[in-house]
Amino acid sequence: MPLTLFAHPFSSYCQKVLVALWENETPFAYRDLEEPGVRDDLVRLWPIAKFPVLVDGDRTIVESSVIIEHLDRHHPGTVRFIPEEPEVALEVRLLDRVFDQHVMNAMQGAVNEALRKTPDRLDEAKATAAAALADCAAAPALFYADWVHPIGAAHPTLRAYRARLLARPSFARAVEEGRRYRHYFPLGAPDRD
Ligand SMILES: N[C@@H](CCC(=O)N[C@@H](CS)C(=O)NCC(=O)O)C(=O)O
């Protein structure tokens, strides 16, 4: 049964899942939320209307981390996303939570505040992102977080890690496919990357 992914190319959580699919060249039908009617189908499947959403046969799987674990279990490829060893798997899940909760969400907080145009809370959200950046890494999280609050020269290891992630073909593809939507970025997408 073919997989179907409801996603938007510019969405960080969607890029997280797209990278997992592309790393293993897993075939799937891409329902791009930019296309007419796709959002209505998404809402019918998942009334909370957050994306990405994966449909696998008669199953609807939501939440990017759960989708990736589902792919690892039911559609494994050469790249495994959850290590076999339980303690190492726990470390991977911990990092995944840290990326989502403290980098991705902090970055999204700054973006949402920019959309609401409330500068005070924007500074607060930016500061939260800055505090977590030194300790955390994940491709879409660091990609967009650096746009919100550039990773400074004081963090060469983190900058180098972000550069390596951007050079990875699966994530480079995600960046390319989202490029045409950069005008959606309320803080102004920087002229780099
Ligand atoms: N915890 C969710 C977060 C998903 C999420 O926040 N997706 C954003 C796009 S990056 C979204 O659906 N935004 C639309 C909205 O909030 O209405 C996951 O990991 O999949």
The alpha carbon of 102 and the centre of ligand 1 are apart by a number of angstroms equal to: 15
Q: What's the pLDDT at 110?
A: 77
Residue among 6, 13, 67 whose CB has most ligand 1 atoms within 8 A, to mutate? 13
- 90's CB contacts (< 8 A; 6+ apart) are none
| C-alpha distance from residue 73 to each of 1, 68, 83, 88 (Å) | 15, 9, 11, 16
- Residue (of 30, 58, 33) closest to 43 by Cα position: 33
Evaluate: CB of 13 within 6 angstroms of ligand 1. yes
Percent of the chain with pLDDT over 70: 88
CA angle (169, 28, 147) in 5-degree steps: 40
- Mean pLDDT on 171-192: 92
Exposed, middle or buried, 185 (CB in 10 Å: 0-12/13-18/19+)?
A: middle
Rg (CA), the chain: 17
The pLDDT of residue 121: 58
Q: Which residues lie below 8 Å from residue 4, measured CB to CB, with a gap of 6+? A: 28, 29, 31, 54, 55
Distance 49 CA to ligand 1 centre (A): 8
Is residue 108 within 8 A of residue 186, CB to CB? The reply is no
> What average pLDDT score do residues 53-80 get?
95
Residue 17 pLDDT > 90 = yes
pLDDT higher than threshold 50 for residue 177: yes
Give the pLDDT band of residue 89 (cuts 50, 70, 90): confident
Cis bond upstream, residue 52 (ω within 30) = yes
- Give residue-wise pLDDT tens across range 108-121: 887 888 777 665 65
Output the pLDDT for position 108.
Answer: 82
Is residue 128 in contact with ligand 1, taking CB distance under 6 Å?
no
| Nearest atom within ligand 1 for CA of residue 14 | 10
Report the pLDDT value the prediction gives residue 130, as an integer from 0 to 100: 40
- Collapsed DSSP state (helix, strand, coil) of residue 97: helix
Global model pTM greater than 0.85? no
Q: Whose CA is nearest to atom 13 of ligand 1?
A: 50
